[in-house]
A and B are shown apart, each in its own frame.
Chain A
Amino acid sequence: MQPLTDVERRAVLRIVDEHKARPGPLIEILHGVQATLGFVPPAAVPVIALGLNLSRAEVHGVVTFYHFFRDHPVGRHVVRLCQAESCQAMGASALTAHAKHRLGIDFHQTSADGAFTLEPVYCLGNCACSPALMIDGDLMGRVTPQDFDAMVSAGQARK
């Protein structure tokens, strides 16, 4: 397990302090840590556990239960491709195949240039405009393979 840097440790402690007086704060804290550090480092788990008076197993159990939380760094942009029924009805499978081929990766992997991580997602609530994807916080609808390529080119240009 890679130890936290001083900066990371201070950030985690600050986030724990910010939330620990609220009822049921663990998920809020994990959101805070992931938003700040990009992921929830395994070495942050004992720090959070100590701060909340929980066992490491309890914190680890929550981190691993939820698809949104990750314990490893990701690319500069996270692309979440919808795989649910509505998007399937509008060609999500073909779009997914195109995306994996274009980036040279499978789901849960990061492209060689470190620009993109590809994740599946099950519904973005954009079902009248399928197929949909979300890049970081931005939603895209009626996505064609050409739209995907344009998004990739724009994302590679942004450092």
Chain B
Amino acid sequence: MSIDIYVPRDASALSLGAEGVARAIEAEARERRADVRVIRNGSRGLYWLEPMVEVALPGGRRAYGPVKTQDVAGLFAADFLQGGAHPLAQGLTEEIPYLKSQQRLTSARVGVIEPTNVADYVAHGGYQGLPRALSMTQAEIVQSVLDSGLRGRGGAAFPTGIKWKTVLDQNAARKYVTCNADEGDSGTFSDRMLMEGDPFALIEGMTIAGIAVGATQGYIYLRVEYPHAYAALNEALNAARQARYLGRDVMGSGRQFELEVRLGAGAYICGEETSMLESLEGKRGEIRVRPPLPAIKGLFGQPTVVNNVVTLSSIPIILARGAAYYRDFGTGKSRGTLPLQLAGNVRRGGLVERAFGLSLRELLYDYGGGSASGRPIRAVQVGGPLGAYIPASQFDVAIDYEALTAIGALLGHGGVVVFDDTVDMARMARYAMEFCAIESCGKCTPCRIGSTRGVEVIDRIIEGVERERNLVLLEDLCETMLQGSLCGLGGMTPFPVQSILKHFREDFHAGTRH
């Protein structure tokens, strides 16, 4: 009987040589006349073990990693097809503590299934939410999402059900469902993993959204930096159309929903929802002044749902298992689970999906195992380039929306970037301003001009030119950008800068001149 071997097709696994490993396994198997079938799955998100190869055995899947092409012959020699001992053996995948202690709801299938095989998706609990939704009224679907407590996982954390209700309540000939897959924050990759590892969950979630609000067309706005996700999504969309989960007659219900992927073109600002809508319309990604909200006047002027990949991929399980099931995870106003992404200078980087409430310290040390360099962790940026830097003295903070806000930080899209004690925080403050200057859409002055002036002021501080006066000027500039910008880019770029002024101010005094 043939043995199934899983080798990820996830972009990060490929970036570490997974393609070569897959080919080497096939070649070695042919050579040894071993009956194996290589299945290309997503990644489990244990990135320090990638490329992680799994062998499906009666007792469960056993993991080996990180596997290089030159390890493959040795693995066969050690009889890994029967779970043989080998220095790279990690035991049963599900028993690896990093994975076992997680609560994977949204990413439950990622790394488990063959991503673009619709039958495999269905065999693992997929397409159970959509038929439930089709048997409910639109208002009932929206109520379920409201009751689940789900808040937008893209960064703004707005209650998803309220957004949907607003769109449902509009009278319009045409409505749209759009997915913001412009995951531009450094340190984040959960959208990418979902799209590459379980694209049908997103497709099912968007279909449910379309049925709920009365939209017949959806768009996934995907960043151009994600070619592997683009391929996986398009393969999955074709499979879903053929199996009639999409199209004129969704699952024989007589309801219509069509879905298309549109590529961005390398503009961070297009992760801002109104800028994304402009870009979807084929225009410059300049943000729109709100109101009107996109839920009232969005894509092509029509009522539009705009949700992030994680948010929409969480919808099927809410419909399939019920709002209460999802809501029972989490704490306070932060309900459900959040796929955290551990990145940067960390020993065990990867995806950690847990109910809200885990402390930052647990994430960094229990999961992450400390820094990759072995040096002390000095700063952690949570929530992408617009998120605050958190010093070691605050690592006991709980990772939920409210607790982070209380210490002047934000959760954003759940990216956590680790820096060791060699980091120059004055440089990171400069980078925050520089990034804003590069990515500003140019519509409002505080962002467009303020960011460039910010770089110049920080340069003078670093050089020691009138340092105290320029520090005051920098604080003033941050206030202006914060209060006066039209959107989050200019309005939040001050957060990392202010957090550095507050917690790492000594780094501004490192220069020698004056």
* Interfacial chain B residues near A124, Cβ < 8 Å: 225
Q: Does B454 contact A (CB under 8 A)?
A: no
B489 to chain A, nearest CB (A): 12
Within 8 A of B (CB), among A100-159: 121-130, 132, 134, 137-142
Determine if B267 and A66 form an interchain contact, defined as CB atoms under 8 angstroms apart: yes
Neighbour of B344 across the interface among A58, A66, A86, CB < 8 A: A86
Please pick, from A28, A67, A126, A138, the residue contacting B262 in the complex, using a CB distance under 8 A: A28
A84–B185 alpha-carbon span in the complex (Å): 9
Given contacts A26-B282, A85-B428, contact A140 B345 (CB under 8 A): no
Residues of A within 8 A of B91 (CB): none
The interface residues of chain B lying within 8 Å CB-to-CB of A23 are 281, 300
Q: Fill in one digit per residue for A60-101: 1 if any B CB lies within 8 Å of its CB, else 0.
A: 011001111100000000001000111111100000000000
**Which of chain B's residues has its CB closest to A141's CB?**
B15
Cβ of B14 within 8 Å of any chain A Cβ, yes or no, is yes
Q: Which residues of B contact A129 (CB under 8 A)?
A: 12, 15-16, 47, 50, 349
Q: Say yes or no for A51: interface residue by CB 8 A criterion.
A: no
A27 at the interface (CB under 8 A from B): yes
Would you call B285 and A65 a contact (CB within 8 A)? yes
In B168-202, which residues have CB < 8 Å from any A CB?
183-189, 191-192
Cα distance, A116 to B103, chains bound together (Å): 44
| Contact flag A130-B343 (CB < 8 Å), given A27-B279, A85-B417, A141-B16 | yes
- Cβ-neighbour of B187 out of A66, A85, A134 (below 8 A): A85
Whether A27 pairs with B282 at a CB distance below 8 angstroms is yes
User: Which among B226, B262, B385 is the interface contact of A84 at CB below 8 angstroms?
Assistant: B385
Q: Is the CB of A123 within 8 A of B282?
A: no
Does A3 sit within 8 A of B, measured CB to CB?
no
The docked-state distance in angstroms from the alpha carbon of A127 to that of B382 is 13
Q: How many angstroms between the C-alpha atoms of A68 and B267 in the bound complex?
A: 8
Is B372 among interface residues, defined by CB-CB distance under 8 A? yes
Find chain B residues with CB under 8 A from A89 CB.
Answer: 344-345, 417-420, 423
B157 at interface (Cβ–Cβ under 8 A)?
no
Contact A62 B282 (CB under 8 A): yes
Q: Which residues of B contact A121 (CB under 8 A)?
A: 225, 266
A139 and B16 CA atoms in complex are apart in Å by: 9
Contact of B15 among A25, A28, A87, A132 (CB under 8 A): A132
Contact of A85 among B47, B346, B381 (CB under 8 A): B381
A65-B267, A122-B438, A122-B439 as given contacts; A86 in contact with B187, CB under 8 Å: yes
B333 to chain A minimum Cβ distance, whole angstroms, is: 28
Contact among B267, B344, B381 for A130, CB-based, below 8 A: B344
Indicate whether B213 reaches chain A with its CB closer than 8 angstroms.
no
How near does chain B come to A54, taking the closest CB pair, in angstroms?
9
Do A139 and B12 have beta carbons less than 8 Å apart? yes
B11 part of interface (Cβ distance < 8 Å): yes
Cα A148 to Cα B203 with chains together (Å): 37
> Within 8 Å of chain B (Cβ to Cβ): is A16?
no
For A22-34 the 0/1 string (1 means CB < 8 A from B) is 0111111011000
Which positions 331-345 of chain B face chain A at CB distance < 8 Å? 341-345
**Of A28, A31, A86, which one neighbours B186 at CB under 8 angstroms?**
A86
State the Cβ distance, A32 to closest chain B Cβ, in Å. Answer: 10
Within B410-460, the residues touching A (CB, 8 Å) are 415, 417-420, 423, 428, 431, 435, 438-439, 441
| Given A26-B282, A90-B372, residue A137 in contact with residue B15 (CB < 8 A) | no
| Contact among A80, A134, A138, A141 for B12, CB-based, below 8 A | A141
Contacts of B423 in A (CB 8 A): 89
User: CA separation between A25 and B263, bound complex, in Å?
Assistant: 11
Q: Write out the residue numbers on chain B whose beta carbons fall within 8 Å of the beta carbon of A132.
A: 15
- Cβ distance A26 to chain B, nearest Cβ, rounded Å: 4
- The answer, yes or no, to whether B227 is at the interface (CB within 8 Å) is yes
Chain A's closest residue to B349 (CB) is A128
Pairwise interchain contact A127-B417, C-beta atoms closer than 8 A = yes
Closest to B442 in A: A65
Q: A122-B435, A141-B15 are in contact. Are A65 and B344 (CB under 8 A)?
A: no
Most buried by B among A26, A88, A89: A89
Asked if A24 contacts B265 (CB within 8 A), the reply is no
A-B contact pairs, 8 of them (CB 8 A): A25-B282, A66-B266, A85-B385, A89-B418, A89-B419, A125-B192, A129-B349, A141-B16
Closest 6 CB pairs of A and B: A128-B349, A84-B186, A127-B343, A68-B266, A26-B282, A66-B265
A67-B266, A84-B186, A128-B342 known, 10 other contacts, Cβ within 8 Å: A27-B262, A61-B284, A66-B266, A80-B225, A84-B435, A85-B417, A88-B431, A122-B435, A123-B188, A127-B417
